[in-house]
Structure 1
Amino acid sequence: MRVSEKLQKNREANGTSKATFSFEFFVPKTSQGVQNLYDRMDRMYQTHPQFIDITWNAGGRLSQLSTELVSTSQSVLGLETCMHLTCTNMPRQLIDDALQKAYESGCQNILALRGDAPITSSEWKPCEGGFTYAKDLVRYIREKYGDHFDIGVAGYPEGHPEEEASPKLVQYLKEKVDAGADFIITQMFYDADNFIEWCRQVRAAGIEVPIIPGIMPITTYAAFLRRSSWCQINVPEAFMAKLDPVKDDDQAVREVGTELVAQMCQKLLDSGYVTHLHMYTMNLEKACIMVLDRLGLLSEDEDIFRDEVVPMPWRKSLHPQRRNESVRPIFWQKRPYSYVARTSQWTADEFPNGRFGDSSSPAFGDLDLLGSTSIRQSPQRALELWSTPTKFSDIAALVIDYLHGKLKCLPWCDVALNHEVDTTMPQLLDLNKHMILTLNSQPRVNGASSADKIVGWGPNNGYVYQKQYLEFLLPKSKLSQLRDFVNDMPSLTYFAVDSADELHSNHPDDTAANAVTWGIFPGREVLQPTIVEKVSFLAWKEEFFDILDEWKRIMGENNHSESVALLESVISDYLLVNIVDNDYVSDGDRIYDMLQRLY
């Protein structure tokens, strides 16, 4: 959705003018930095930003990273994304390439900037075949793509390095808007009174598009002074009076800075000119969250967010070819990057209703989007997170730490645990303590409100249902007992497979999909967004054992031979099992009761 439409929707929702916010991220210089940024963006997604934007780096690999970040945040993370685009070092062909990639990724928002002079030059000059002013870039985008893109431009309440604040600068801004711009994002500032006066001048000049102030949180005293000096902005005396006495205490600087910036933001919101705050994150998390929390903008109770944030019980992609995706195998519930990567190149006939599809497809198993490694952490980070397990109980201890929230990810799980498992937490902990390693689960739900904060999803005024599901590792030696116990409980169906593809199942029709999550909503057909099926389970089996093999390789490269031997034994001696309890009505935990008998 276009940024201006999202802002308008917020203003109109239930007659409220509750403030909203967005985040800006820049492109890291290393591949691991990019990976860590994805993780940070994923966490910050939970605060419900209206959009994020990604800065632009012209030329070579950094330019490619800019477009990759836009595509991944849009398609994998499901974040409405705005891409910066500058005129600096950008001939028309490069601009065309960047716009086309943004268009193909589903991005509908561009921040069109002239850009700063290259480091090698003392003054700004257009490159050959490029544009001279931001208004020219705005006009070109509008002519080439019509109304597909919402186009933002920069505003300078305290002047530009090449032009002091003046009516002339406001006129330049009007020319950009007249060329087709839809919203304005301003440079950072700390002088609220000056900003409000500038807004008055902007409106007096006939500029009616949304004005979005750029907010720079205060993290350290040195960074505060450096950024203020670099942007040539005025720092009110009140800021210095409160920050200078604590300048040598970083924690105090952040606390005082948070209060100062939050007070400034509240003044902006009270002025009537502003309904949205754009946070310059500098790829950091804590300072922005502290400001938003101080302003009371982190509530999760607002219905205005629901249709965009929880349309499905899994992260919904905003890629144009995936917007209507309605079904996903439960095995990738906690590996959204892998799932989107595997299915990114599938055409509509190979990807019916969003299911994993036909294993005969030439695209089946493709992982080009995010590289071929199964573990999304660097080898060094993997060692820091998961150490060097030497016995199976060490791996079980990692899962227990994950369940307790001490770990945010595991080799086979990219996302942090949610509160859905709270009702089955004692059982999960007990299973792992008895060496039944749990990988994924969901509790039984029988007609919960779609507005429920933990299990709710989809439109308001509906009801959601879930069959209890558990995925785990089991020694091959216990397979015959498992099969006997499952036969005693007719409501349970299972798949069990080893690394050599020997499959066991009691499914009456193992070619059919078993819906494990569904919803009933007014005026709509039944939605069944999460399924278990044989083909996708076998595809997940391949990925899971690849993950263990990758983990083993990391251990071997770091000379941890006992860990290598352990993981080899897990790969050769254990089964990957999933069990569904198809009785979602009756009380009790039949899966746990059955597995207890295997102790």
Structure 2
Amino acid sequence: MKLTDKINNRLRSTPYYTLEFFPPKTEQGFANLLTRIHRLSQFQPLAVSITWGAGGSTKDRSLELASICQSEHGTETILHLTCTNVESGTVQSVLKAAKDAGIQNILALRGDPPRGAEYWIPTDPQFNHASDLVAAIRSSPEFSQHFCVGVAAYPDGHPDQEVDEERELANLKRKVDAGADFIVTQLFYDVDAFFAWERKVRAKGITVPIIPGIMPIQNYPSFLRVVKLTGSKVPDAVHKALEPIRHDDAKVKDYGVMLATSMVQRLTNSGVVKGVHFCTLNLELSVRKVLERLQWTVSSPIPPVNKLIDDSTQAASKSEPEAHLLITPESAVGHLTVHPPSDTTNVGKGELNDPSTWDEYPNGRFGDAKSPAYGGVEPWDSTLASSHAEAIAKWGNPKTEADLTALFLAHLNGHINGTPFWESPLSPESRLILPHLRRMTARGWWTVGSQPAADAVRSDDPILGWGPVNGYVFQKAFVEFFASREDVDWLERSAKTKSGGLVTYFAGNAEGEWATNMLDESGNAVTWGVFPGQEIAQSTIIERDSFLAWKEEAFRIWAEWSQFYPPESPERTLLEQMRQERWLISIVHHDFKDPNGLWHFWLDGRESSNGSDS
């Protein structure tokens, strides 16, 4: 059914809501998301929406997930669809596939061009704006009557700061005039600002339903990144409330539930808003708590599990973490170690015991690759968060490998606040091994992630500590960096002959080649904690699927970075060459009692070899 028909025909007195999911990066994460959607379907959301990666990067998975939700879960589905930077004919083929799957709702988006936007030409020239996509659907004899079409709006202003409010309102009016049936807004945290914006929208003569986007805050780092990416304006009261609890994931999450509940109550009690759109980040618990506090949950039996969750899917679901492992990391890419929340009251209540509470923190790339939320902290297929002007100001115009080495060293030395692979200053933890990182980077082994070894450090340690008080934390040293094929060859030989069995590694390149000495299904917990009266908590995991997913993202960053510069420029030529030639290497040293074991193996061993086995 079309979303607007469901809105108009709604019988329940409570406001409606929709739920947003993104296609997981791994097969097991995809299977486990189906069970998560199945559980949430008992609350009878008006619809679920499935996001679409930039340039159609998640096309097949987005279509598959949307089709399952529509046909097997019996849940009305909204498929996001971006129209720029896609191959000619993609839009028409996706619309046909969506129609064949019974999907009747499309969220028509422009999508983001590559970061070097001033050098970008749309691949399919008929689509430059979301209004072009709306108009194409409405003018098509095949699709015009079948699809209900929604569009996006930006209460806090468009993320592209060059688009002022009046121009953005005119763009929204153009999309609605082209045939849009409803509007879903970008997430926001300032309700008063939303009401002011909504009045301006209505003053433009726009009468279609407006559905506000709500994203419960999950943890502090992901909140900051999302705010930066979206340009959302955050009230001072929210910042002040988060500041004293920012290091405690559980408290931040509870505050996020409280804030989201309060926002939704204000929005829906106003009489202006009839429903809201929850950005879930593929997480379940916060949304469930908000719905329960609002008393919007529906008491009804869970419908039968759909037939597509077959034996293989169920087997994948059962392979989730054992109940006694707490795997709840903050998100990180780069020189940042990932820690679980300090509240470990749910230890022993994992997927095998209580599915609704398993893995309920943003699951960055160091988390469990079986998680539906693995690898993502926001619902967009986004890598670089910097604009073109910001990137040039921070990273300049590298034209040689020496320039790149100087750039990575500048980050280590605190002269710049980030690299394209980690857009934040070096963490205090990585500063403990700064001489080793400088030495590696100076040799052209550009480091992007690391942590020192730690043996029974108190959990209240200001740099390495995490979790409840009176506990102890442990870490294996690891480092990730870009290197040459020759370095990979040396690593493969030396891990066998010179490491004493204490070194494991992953290595991969942009062409899909990869190497490891890890068993296919083995995982490597490199950070864990022991706390009074609780079972061991593991937070940082390095294993095959997570490395391969991160490898793809890392080499996509090289490609996006290159597009800040004109075609055939020395900068773009260099960055494209590095993407093709370099390998991403991740090395772990398993003797956590030896703080120098990793560095002795790689730095001393590799430097003394001079590219040979000597």
TM-score scaled by structure 1? 0.51
Sort the Cα spacing of 1:158 and 1:377 in 2 relative to 1 into closer, same or farther, 3 A: same
How many percent identity over aligned positions?
A: 42
Match of 2:7 in 1: 7
Match of 2:316 in 1: 378
CA distance in 1 between counterparts of 2:203 and 2:7 reads: 22
Q: Residues 240-278 of structure 1: CA distance to partner in whole angstroms, max 9, x if unpaired?
A: 121111112111111122212211221111222211110
Q: Residues 414-470 of structure 1: CA distance to partner in whole angstroms, max 9, x if unpaired?
A: xxxxxxxxxxxxxxxxxxxxxxxxxxxxxxxxxxxxxxxxxxxxxxxxxxxxxxxxx
Match of 1:253 in 2: 252
CA distance in 2 between counterparts of 1:151 and 1:39 reads: 28
1:162-561 map, 5 Å: 162=160, 163-300=162-299, 315=303, 336-337=307-308, 374=312, 376-378=314-316, 381=319, 384=322, 406=353
Q: Is the Cα contact below 8 Å between 1:216 and 1:280 reproduced in 2?
A: yes
Sort the Cα spacing of 1:76 and 1:252 in 2 relative to 1 into closer, same or farther, 3 A: same
Q: Is the Cα contact below 8 Å between 2:16 and 2:276 reproduced in 1?
A: yes
5+ residue gaps, structure 2: 324-351, 357-519, 522-614
Q: Which amino acid aligns with 1:141?
A: I
Q: Residues 18-66 of structure 1: CA distance to partner in whole angstroms, max 9, x if unpaired?
A: 2111111111111111111111111111111100000113678731111
1:576-595 map, 5 Å: none
CA distance in 1 between counterparts of 2:293 and 2:225 reads: 25
CA distance in 2 between counterparts of 1:234 and 1:255 reads: 21
Sort the Cα spacing of 1:276 and 1:124 in 2 relative to 1 into closer, same or farther, 3 A: farther
- 1:336, distance to aligned residue in structure 2 (A): 2.5
- 1:121, distance to aligned residue in structure 2 (A): 4.9
Q: Is the Cα contact below 8 Å between 1:191 and 1:234 reproduced in 2?
A: yes
Match of 1:157 in 2: 155
- 1:164, distance to aligned residue in structure 2 (A): 4.4
CA distance in 1 between counterparts of 2:20 and 2:299 reads: 21
Match of 1:426 in 2: none
Q: Secondary structure at the match of 1:132?
A: coil
Question: Which structure has the bigger radius of gyration?
Answer: 1
Q: Please report the RMSD computed on the Cα atoms of aligned residues, expressed in angstroms.
A: 3.2
Q: Which amino acid aligns with 2:220?
A: Y
Sort the Cα spacing of 1:374 and 1:285 in 2 relative to 1 into closer, same or farther, 3 A: closer
Q: Which amino acid aligns with 1:381?
A: S
Q: Does 1:137 align with 2:143?
A: no
Q: Is the Cα contact below 8 Å between 2:32 and 2:316 reproduced in 1?
A: no
The more displaced of 179-188 and 165-174 is 165-174
Q: Residues 158-185 of structure 1: CA distance to partner in whole angstroms, max 9, x if unpaired?
A: 1113344522211110110010000000
CA distance in 2 between counterparts of 1:377 and 1:62 reads: 24
Match of 1:82 in 2: 78
Match of 2:59 in 1: 63
Q: Residues 454-503 of structure 1: CA distance to partner in whole angstroms, max 9, x if unpaired?
A: xxxxxxxxxxxxxxxxxxxxxxxxxxxxxxxxxxxxxxxxxxxxxxxxxx
- 1:197, distance to aligned residue in structure 2 (A): 0.6
Sort the Cα spacing of 1:230 and 1:33 in 2 relative to 1 into closer, same or farther, 3 A: same
Higher RCO, 1 vs 2 (CA within 8 Å, ≥6 residues apart): 2
Q: Is the Cα contact below 8 Å between 1:158 and 1:165 reproduced in 2?
A: no
Q: Residues 506-530 of structure 1: CA distance to partner in whole angstroms, max 9, x if unpaired?
A: xxxxxxxxxxxxxxxxxxxxxxxxx
CA distance in 1 between counterparts of 2:153 and 2:308 reads: 36
CA distance in 2 between counterparts of 1:384 and 1:222 reads: 27
CA distance in 1 between counterparts of 2:171 and 2:354 reads: 51
CA distance in 1 between counterparts of 2:256 and 2:239 reads: 10
CA distance in 2 between counterparts of 1:267 and 1:334 reads: 35
- 1:146, distance to aligned residue in structure 2 (A): 1.6
- 1:281, distance to aligned residue in structure 2 (A): 0.6
Match of 1:461 in 2: none
Match of 1:466 in 2: none
Match of 1:106 among 85, 102, 106: 102
Q: Is the Cα contact below 8 Å between 2:107 and 2:150 reproduced in 1?
A: yes
Q: Is the Cα contact below 8 Å between 1:218 and 1:224 reproduced in 2?
A: yes
Q: Secondary structure at the match of 2:281?
A: coil
CA distance in 2 between counterparts of 1:128 and 1:172 reads: 20
CA distance in 1 between counterparts of 2:57 and 2:156 reads: 34
CA distance in 2 between counterparts of 1:177 and 1:152 reads: 9
Q: Is the Cα contact below 8 Å between 2:73 and 2:306 reproduced in 1?
A: no
Match of 2:144 in 1: 146
Q: Residues 66-99 of structure 1: CA distance to partner in whole angstroms, max 9, x if unpaired?
A: 1111111111111110001101322441111100
CA distance in 2 between counterparts of 1:375 and 1:207 reads: 45
- 1:379, distance to aligned residue in structure 2 (A): 9.1
Q: How many residues are matched? A: 333
Q: Secondary structure at the match of 1:257?
A: helix
CA distance in 2 between counterparts of 1:61 and 1:266 reads: 36
CA distance in 2 between counterparts of 1:60 and 1:132 reads: 15
5+ residue gaps, structure 1: 302-309, 316-332, 339-369, 386-404, 410-556, 559-599
- 1:226, distance to aligned residue in structure 2 (A): 1.5
Q: Residues 188-207 of structure 1: CA distance to partner in whole angstroms, max 9, x if unpaired?
A: 11010010011111111110
Q: Is the Cα contact below 8 Å between 1:88 and 1:126 reproduced in 2?
A: yes
Q: Is the Cα contact below 8 Å between 2:159 and 2:229 reproduced in 1?
A: no
CA distance in 1 between counterparts of 2:76 and 2:317 reads: 31
- 1:106, distance to aligned residue in structure 2 (A): 0.3
Q: Is the Cα contact below 8 Å between 1:112 and 1:138 reproduced in 2?
A: yes
Match of 2:601 in 1: none
CA distance in 2 between counterparts of 1:296 and 1:286 reads: 15
Q: Secondary structure at the match of 2:201?
A: helix
Q: Which amino acid aligns with 1:378?
A: A
Q: Secondary structure at the match of 2:131?
A: helix
- 1:378, distance to aligned residue in structure 2 (A): 2.9
Q: Is the Cα contact below 8 Å between 1:142 and 1:180 reproduced in 2?
A: yes
Sort the Cα spacing of 1:243 and 1:121 in 2 relative to 1 into closer, same or farther, 3 A: same
Sort the Cα spacing of 1:384 and 1:111 in 2 relative to 1 into closer, same or farther, 3 A: same
Q: Secondary structure at the match of 1:288?
A: helix
The more displaced of 261-270 and 130-139 is 261-270
CA distance in 2 between counterparts of 1:213 and 1:127 reads: 31
Q: Which amino acid aligns with 1:203?
A: R
Q: Secondary structure at the match of 1:242?
A: helix
Match of 2:19 among 20, 23, 47: 23
CA distance in 2 between counterparts of 1:113 and 1:335 reads: 30
CA distance in 2 between counterparts of 1:199 and 1:214 reads: 13
CA distance in 2 between counterparts of 1:335 and 1:96 reads: 29
The more displaced of 95-104 and 115-124 is 115-124
Q: Secondary structure at the match of 2:211?
A: strand
Q: Residues 312-340 of structure 1: CA distance to partner in whole angstroms, max 9, x if unpaired?
A: xx95xxxxxxxxxxxxxxxxx656326xx
Sort the Cα spacing of 1:95 and 1:249 in 2 relative to 1 into closer, same or farther, 3 A: same
Q: Secondary structure at the match of 2:239?
A: helix
CA distance in 1 between counterparts of 2:262 and 2:67 reads: 35
Q: Which amino acid aligns with 1:49?
A: P
Higher-helix-fraction structure: 1
Match of 1:437 in 2: none
